[in-house]
Structure 1
Amino acid sequence: MNQLPAPTRIGRQQATSDEYNDGPFTFRPATKDGFNATVAIQGPSGSGKTWTGLSIASGLAEGERFAVIDTERGAAALYVNDLGVAFDTLPMHRYDPRDLQKALAAAAQAGYRVVMVDSLSHFWKGTDGTLDQVEKAKSKYGGNKFAGWKDGTPLQNEMIEALMSYPGHVVVTMRSYVHWVLENGSPVNKGMRAEQRKGIEFEFDVAAEMDENNRLRFIKSRCPSFRGLVLNQPHGAKDIAKPYLDWLRDGGKETDPSIWIDAANAADATPDGLLALYREVEAARALATPLLHPDTGAPISLGELIKERGTALKAASAA
């Protein structure tokens, strides 16, 4: 009878250490430094969300040109003379969430202090949007659409992270619809819901909904001025942008991410210096700041750029 060979004991392999991701957990004094406005306006067609969003963006821009990422067939451009504000548009015709990341990176590269997305709904249910990505991915999992979310969820999350980490103020509009549910066999109106992933409005510091009468109701606000407030035919620059900026600047300072970007690309950068820079950017909640790669032109986050360069320099010095 053949005997099995004696078992060979193998030592437990140590996980590869990542000095960038395995940093210390360090508490720091709370501060409002570096926070930007993030505003979401949702509503049905004709409620005035594009007009209101443009007015808010113009107030946040304080006289500077701002950027509009347009998925609404040029709707924003129709108001350029009526509002008397200067802005540039980028028409989008496909709505892959990765394309929004590219557009945000391009806007950041161009130095726009304010970017508006009109509307964010297309990147959820438009051509090549998140729902389309899930539908395409299910073929990899035997037609299982639920499994397709393994691909769709990261795309959606990375898009939102890039939006929330834009190095400036962000305004988005979203289409909405009446959400009905059956209760005891009867349809019950549960209010308006944005055409985006459920709960998307809670990603923003300020979120409001508009109705067909151009009445705006705040549904979430970290800015105390807006809590429980309802505005009829709001003037976005005066009623929303100004008090929001006043609140952000009360005890808070603006940060300039170009200083970090220049440091990441500096010719005399060192591995230790880049690791320290990563920690500084991490503490400022700016790792996901969208950029265009200086060599390839592909979208990349500020954190990834610093890590890539630091890792490459460390490998070169060890060679």
Structure 2
Amino acid sequence: MANNEKFSFTKAERKKAKLKLNLNGASGSGKTYSALVLASSLGKKIAVIDTENESASLYANEFNFDTLPLRPPYSPDRFIGAITAAFNMGYEVLILDSASHEWVGSGGCLEINDEAAKRFKGNTWSAWSETTPKHRKFIDAILQTDMHIITTTRAKTETAIGEKGKIIKLGMKAEQRDGYEYELTVSLDMLHENKLAVPTKDRTKIFSPEGEVITRETGQKLLAWLNDGRSQEQALQDSFNEALNRIASTNDIAELGIIYTPFKGTDCEAEIASACRNRKSAILSTQGHA
């Protein structure tokens, strides 16, 4: 039987984009300063949501920006409200310093989940069914709000025990939900000893794998790349490939839902959903609940 549905094709074009970037590092690694350097090249009207005891204001003599000191509780809803307010007030660039508080801070997602677990008689897996959608809305606010957004995250050093009990440094783990860096355009680790920014994810291909000091020229290069844009098809393909890698490596059933959500309604939805189901079965089997 013939399909009477009409399809319309339009000429593919490269789209301008808004930067979504994270700077991850220990205290004193230069996250806040570097964020302000980048922001100054991306736009003139800059806002900072400051959860770090107004540390950004220490640079008020060098950069022109407005600030919102955000106090506890650090719930996803309050961050979303602040992001929305910044957009409605016409800011071109928003710095969220830091996004770690939404996850590990007082009133953040981990505390929210602990409270939810009490209603589920200590079952934290069931509690995440309530907490994860709240966190997902926070991520969506960052990704979907039409302005440049730079976030920072606090880092802690991951280690392992090697041969003869030697402690081996594995890298810097952000104090945010696992996989946070995969959501963004660029994610950089800030090295404390030399203030170099080392890319852990870089769709722009601008940053040296060995790391570099962030300057205003860095921001100008990012802005040029954003204004040049890229095809939506290529962007979706990149996200699809990243999602498959994340699905294959995660042992967190709740994270599978986070990975799946952005693909709802896309051509990739069926494949992502199938991969998530298969991975969920494998996780449950490993846990002995299959």
Does the 8 A contact of 1:32 with 1:248 survive in 2?
no
Does the 8 A contact of 2:41 with 2:223 survive in 1?
no
Q: Aligned partners of 2:29 and 2:157: how far apart in 1?
A: 14
2:90 to 111, 116, 125: 111
1:67 to 47, 62, 65: 47
2:27 to 45, 62, 66: 45
Instruction: Classify the secondary structure of the residue corresponding to 2:113.
Output: helix
Deviation at 1:227, TM superposition (A): 4.9
Structure exhibiting the larger radius of gyration computed from Cα positions: 1
Identity among equivalent positions (%) equals 33
Q: Aligned partners of 2:212 and 2:10: how far apart in 1?
A: 38
Q: Aligned partners of 2:17 and 2:151: how far apart in 1?
A: 17
- The farther-off stretch of 101-110 and 215-224 is 215-224
Q: Aligned partners of 1:53 and 1:178: how far apart in 2?
A: 21
Does the 8 A contact of 1:133 with 1:151 survive in 2?
no
Q: For residues 269-288 of structure 1, what are the structure 2 equivalents within 5 Å?
A: none
Q: For residues 129-140 of structure 1, what are the structure 2 equivalents within 5 Å?
A: 129-140=108-119
Q: Aligned partners of 2:196 and 2:40: how far apart in 1?
A: 20
Unaligned runs of 5+ in 2: 1-5, 232-264, 267-290
The answer to whether 1:168 aligns with 2:135 is: no
Q: For residues 25-40 of structure 1, what are the structure 2 equivalents within 5 Å?
A: 30-40=12-22
Aligned to 2:71: 93
Return closer, same or farther for 1:143/1:108 CA change in 2, 3 Å cut-off.
Answer: same
Q: Aligned partners of 2:172 and 2:55: how far apart in 1?
A: 22
Deviation at 1:190, TM superposition (A): 1.5
Q: Aligned partners of 2:158 and 2:7: how far apart in 1?
A: 42
Q: Aligned partners of 1:35 and 1:202: how far apart in 2?
A: 17
Return closer, same or farther for 1:30/1:196 CA change in 2, 3 Å cut-off.
Answer: farther
Aligned to 1:57: 39
Return closer, same or farther for 1:87/1:26 CA change in 2, 3 Å cut-off.
Answer: farther
Deviation at 1:250, TM superposition (A): 2.0
Deviation at 1:167, TM superposition (A): 1.0
Does the 8 A contact of 2:159 with 2:170 survive in 1?
yes
Deviation at 1:182, TM superposition (A): 4.6
Q: Aligned partners of 1:121 and 1:138: how far apart in 2?
A: 21
What is the total number of aligned residue pairs between the two structures? 225
Q: Give the letter aligned to residue 174 of structure 1.
A: T
Unaligned runs of 5+ in 1: 1-23, 254-281, 284-319
Does the 8 A contact of 1:220 with 1:227 survive in 2?
no
